[in-house]
Amino acid sequence: MPVVIINMLEGRSKEMKRDLIKRVTDAVVESLKVKPDSVRVIINEVPKENFAVAGLPIEDYRKGEQGKVSKNKVSARSNQNKK
């Protein structure tokens, strides 16, 4: 019995999730040659405040803060190389 676990940010509609479940199930059925009734799909919706990218909350990352993190990392590496 294949089990597919999907972690994603909350906020998508029931219709979108229903479509995702159908497409994932179809892909597993085709790939593994199993019956649809044997496929389980679990969607875990993560609140935005509990999701981060590159050390930043996702909302800050999406606002363009990721450039600041990258620049800070490059500066830190440059300073270490000078020592």
20 phi and psi, to 5 degrees? -60, -45
Q: Residue 44: its pLDDT value, please? A: 98
35, 25 in Cβ contact below 8 A? Answer: no
- Residues involved in catalysis: 2
Nearest C-alpha neighbor of 24 from the set 9, 7, 11, 5: 5
- pTM recorded for the entire structure: 0.71
One domain for residues 4 and 38:
yes
- Same domain as 25, residue 39: yes
Q: Please enumerate in sequence order all residues whose Cβ is within 8 A of that of 26, keeping only pairs 6 or more positions apart, or say none.
A: 36
Number of folded domains in the chain? Answer: 2
pLDDT digit of tens for each residue in the chain (83 aa)? 999 999 999 999 999 999 999 999 999 999 999 999 999 999 999 999 999 999 999 999 999 866 665 555 555 555 555 55
At 7, give phi and psi (nearest 5°). Answer: -105, 125
> By residue range, what is the domain housing residue 32?
1-46
